[in-house]
A and B are shown apart, each in its own frame.
Chain A
């Protein structure tokens, strides 16, 4: 909240200041320049070595049959064979991809709107808003591993809360929420949403608090009802936050790993691109070239929200 208001106010001064900034630079001594270069340079080396290097590495390895033994440079280059077998022969690729898409669609069209709804409602509540916020936000501070376990307790076939409430604990009618390969993804999504909704709520609420109330008043004077005011005035003005929320939601969906891994290591209906990568490349087999081709697919999809976010950043930077 404080950040939003502090952050947006002196934006206009930035361009005027550029000239002065240039002069700063000339005030710097050689030592100063060296210190600044090291401040950026050392972390940059680590960032390139441990994040961007391996990312490019995944791309290069995906064209080889490297099995992890010896140097990757000695591995045989096999062109796009990994991709061909990924798309045509590997039985888990298309299910995993569709699970990621389901994950994304659910977060985007169910959990995120619910978070926005909570934010809009809490923005209107005069008293007790803080208590509700605390409750909805609480799951966000829990790790996804803890969330996976807490929800396993709810979903347990005989001992879990849900089946006991539904009266489906007998042998002939019990629902195996996490064991049934068509059900478990939805069960996992409910657990993931428990956290995601609160996350989105907090971010959106911060935006709403910074929203200029005179705009809303003006809409009211013009005879708009609550719904019209939100969709025609508030929502469009909140566009920058909406973009951030779409980006966050997409990235969360692509990163999904922990809950699926805690439930069943991402198998039997819970395959995701992320779990296929670790299962093929690290945990169970040594098909590093093949695992890398899955990583590249995930990378290419991830670049969509990342580029969207960065281009927005660049636009703001230029302003």
Chain B
């Protein structure tokens, strides 16, 4: 009783006092939100205007006309269909394999007691934290030196200049992050689950596939969303490990596009936005997974 009246007594004046700061708070946030949106809005506006229109009226001006022509031109001249296909070939298998491999490692180190559990975990996690530039020079040499990579994976026998090579380094690099998140998640699952299944005679492979993986669905969904954007957005690996311009996934192909559309800002804006569309769509549809995925990585471990 007393507690209720007490909080009521405190809350009333606070509400009155909060009014002015409340407005200031919303004003500040709204201002910042507008500042945050301006660069993107400017890019969209530039992309929607024909080059001739901006040449004639200047970039800061009301539009003579707005069309999607720049997007169509950027798509065909920038060979977007080709680059999106490369992205698909690298990204989709990479996300799936990363999650499968990471879930197995996390399963082995978090559900069972081994002598080297912690060391293994640290090796994978630390590998993910290294700046890629630290290892790129020897990696580049390994990619050009290893010969005899079989046909469906490589058409020149090397890892260099191949989708498979970029897929491989993305998987190896990203596994560390997923192991960290998944092992934290699996530690929260009851140990009786594994024990009961083992007593019933289930194999570890079955426990992984039929018991643990289904329970990890929320973490896997969050990681799939995050990893899709991480690998889709990779610029560095594909830039250095794929030589043939036509083969580069869309993000690293932007480097060539910039040179190609240098003289036509409107076209460049359209190209950059086209490349951003898939990640923006995924974000809009699956926003909560992004947030829970990042929090899983940060709040534990």
Contact = CB atoms under 8 A, between A and B. Distances in A.
Interface in B87-132: 101, 104-105, 107-109, 111-113, 118, 120-127, 129-132
Interface in A23-63: 23-25, 27-29, 31-32, 35-36, 39-40, 43-44, 46-55, 57-58, 61
Contacts of A248: 298
A159 B253 CA distance: 24
A137 interface: yes
Contacts of B173: 51
Nearest to B42: A161
Contacts of B141: 68, 72, 288
A253 B150 CA distance: 39
A206 B184 CA distance: 16
A146 interface: yes
Contacts of B187: 14
Contact of B191 (A21, A165, A277, A306): A21
Nearest to B173: A51
B133 A255 contact: yes
Contact of B188 (A7, A134, A261): A7
A298 B133 contact: yes
B142 interface: yes
Contacts of A164: 58-60
B296 to A, nearest CB: 4
A142 B281 CA distance: 11
B300 interface: yes
A293 to B, nearest CB: 10
A141 to B, nearest CB: 4
Contact of A55 (B112, B130, B280): B130
Contacts of A40: 104-105, 108-109, 120
B73 to A, nearest CB: 16
Interface in B184-228: 184-185, 187-188, 191, 194-195, 198-199, 203-205, 208, 218-219, 222
Contact of A206 (B54, B108, B291): B291
A143 B124 contact: no
A139 B300 contact: no
Nearest to A287: B137
A118 interface: yes
A4 B112 contact: no
A310 interface: yes
B300 A50 contact: no
B8 to A, nearest CB: 14
A137 B172 CA distance: 27
B154 interface: no
B299 A8 contact: yes
Interface string A208-249: 001000000000100000000000000000001100110110
Contact of B123 (A6, A47, A125, A143): A47
A161 to B, nearest CB: 5
A241 B298 contact: yes
B37 A28 contact: no
A310 B300 contact: no
A58 B133 CA distance: 10
A289 B269 CA distance: 39
B35 to A, nearest CB: 9
A206 B235 contact: no
A177 interface: no
A121 interface: yes
A35 B107 contact: no
B255 A261 contact: yes
A110 interface: no
B118 A317 contact: yes
Interface in A132-165: 132, 134-139, 141-146, 149-154, 156, 159-161, 164-165
Contacts of B279: 141-143
A2 B204 contact: no
A22 B194 CA distance: 12
Interface in A108-139: 118, 121-122, 124-125, 128, 131-132, 134-139
B158 interface: no
A154 B126 CA distance: 37
A14 B184 CA distance: 12
A159 B59 contact: yes
Contact of B137 (A153, A159, A288): A288
A29 B206 CA distance: 13
A142 B276 contact: yes
Contacts of B127: 47, 51-52
A48 to B, nearest CB: 8
A204 to B, nearest CB: 9
Contacts of A137: 283, 287, 290-291
B112 A141 contact: no
B68 interface: no
Contact of B33 (A17, A28, A124, A135): A135
Interface string A276-319: 01100111000010011001001100100110011001101100
Nearest to A48: B123
Given A3-B185, A21-B113, A142-B279, 8 more contacts: A32-B203, A51-B127, A150-B269, A161-B38, A164-B58, A255-B133, A288-B141, A306-B130
Q: Which 7 A-B pairs have the closest CB atoms?
A: A57-B138, A206-B295, A143-B233, A3-B296, A54-B135, A54-B138, A281-B137
